[in-house]
Homo-oligomer: A and B are copies of this chain.
């Protein structure tokens, strides 16, 4: 894992590949050995009634964090695709910046497995997720 991409490089690849308003705003906060952390700055568009962050926004943060950690570790190859994601909803998510921290549980030849904690900054996680990416053959 000594060829880890930098947080700046991963962020640039995400912005180049996903040219949507939401994606452009994603910040890759850190990349480390087996982990990556992203932030989505708060926007009123994220909200559902009751002033909490919507499920689709949390899902987007989870999928982006998984993408970031895989990308950082396998580099810029024709890309892995999401195979499955399991989400457990723990509590409502306050209307603040969203932080998603992904951790690699397995990085095999054919499959990467990750867990992700996501929620409002400085709050306990709103969702715990586990998922896998199917990796391209060499």
Contacts and interface: CB of A to CB of B under 8 A. Distances in A.
Interface of A: 17-20, 48-49, 54-57, 59-60, 63, 81-91, 105-106, 110-111, 113, 115, 125, 128, 130, 132, 134, 137
**How many protomers of this protein does the assembly include?**
4
Contact of A132 (B48, B55, B88, B105): B88
Nearest to A106: B90
Given A56-B60, A83-B89, A128-B115, A137 B137 contact: yes
A113 B130 CA distance: 13
Contacts of A111: 83, 134
Given A59-B55, A88-B83, A130 B132 contact: no
Contacts of A56: 56-57, 59-60, 63
Nearest to A89: B82
A110 B134 contact: yes
Contacts of A105: 88, 90, 125, 128
